[in-house]
Amino acid sequence: MIRTIRPPAVAGAFYPADPGQLTQMIQQYLAAAPPNGPAPKALIAPHAGYVYSGPVAASGYRLVQNVRDKIRRVVLVGPSHRVPFYGLAASSADAFATPLGEVPLDEEAKEILRSLPQIQISDVAHQSEHSLEVHLPFLQMVLDDFTLVPLVAGQATPSEVADVLEALWGGEETLIVISSDLSHYHDYWTARAIDAETTQMIEQRNWQGLTGERACGYVGIRGLLKLAQQHDYHVTTIDVRNSGDTAGDKRQVVGYGTYVLHR
């Protein structure tokens, strides 16, 4: 049987295409991140080029590393930047590849997703999308063997997203990762003010107040926070910075935040 592999689309652009360079870069980010914090059931983390958002994402993945012996499946939800559609898009691929190797897709989850009306199979939605891909090398570095449930979010209600996450929630073997950057293209100080407000909303699980102006992955975040409210999970902020902190220019920045959902 021929296996279908979704190849990396942004290796060499968002992160190094060379496996050695990529490994070294992620190791440096993880080593600089604080080692202690709550054990994540879910993570909200950014998806920009590594030089911009890598240190912020690493702050969450450092905590995932602490529970690597438990996690066997990762549900990864990110916004669609290129293809407009309704609902959430799953992939027909057997595995997703990065310079660090292949990650197999979870077959049991594929069966669950087939029964949900808001799910469609769309390889076009996944083909060039970076919002999921940039998380995979981090996951490959901090986890042992795991399967992947990749979902690109189009236009979907908080309830539609929450229902999908609920169906895939599982136990401590399942990690949920919601991919999102924060505000886009404000000056440094304006961005800091907006992102501080957004952070407060996320901590308070105020999913009703979130918009695409505050977080490009708001569709996924709203669904997660709605579920967090229902199950009384807490949200802890791990790191909030912007590209003016990580890569220099403060005239026009993009905000990044990492948040952990935990008991």
CATH number for position 185? 3.40.830.10
Confidence at residue 1, expressed as pLDDT on a 0 to 100 scale: 78
Q: Is residue 94 in some structural domain? A: yes
For residue 106, pLDDT over 90 is answered with yes
Please state the domain count of the chain.
1
Q: Is residue 28 in some structural domain? A: no
The mean per-residue pLDDT over the stretch 112-117 comes to: 97
Over pLDDT 70: what percentage of the chain?
100
pLDDT per residue over 92-103, tens digit each? Answer: 999 999 999 999
Q: Is residue 20 in some structural domain? A: no
Confidence at residue 189, expressed as pLDDT on a 0 to 100 scale: 98
Contact 46, 257 (CB under 8 A): yes
The mean per-residue pLDDT over the stretch 143-151 comes to: 98
pLDDT per residue over 172-204, tens digit each? Answer: 999 999 999 999 999 999 999 999 999 999 999
Range of 181's domain? 39-262
248 pLDDT band (50/70/90 cuts)?
confident
240's CB contacts (< 8 A; 6+ apart) are 56, 182, 195, 196, 199, 255, 256, 257, 258
188's CB contacts (< 8 A; 6+ apart) are 242, 244, 250, 251, 253
pLDDT per residue over 53-97, tens digit each? Answer: 999 999 999 999 999 999 999 999 999 999 999 999 999 999 999
Bridging pattern class, strands 253-262 and 95-98: unpaired
- Across the chain, mean pLDDT equals 97
Q: Is residue 194 in some structural domain? A: yes
23 pLDDT band (50/70/90 cuts)?
very high
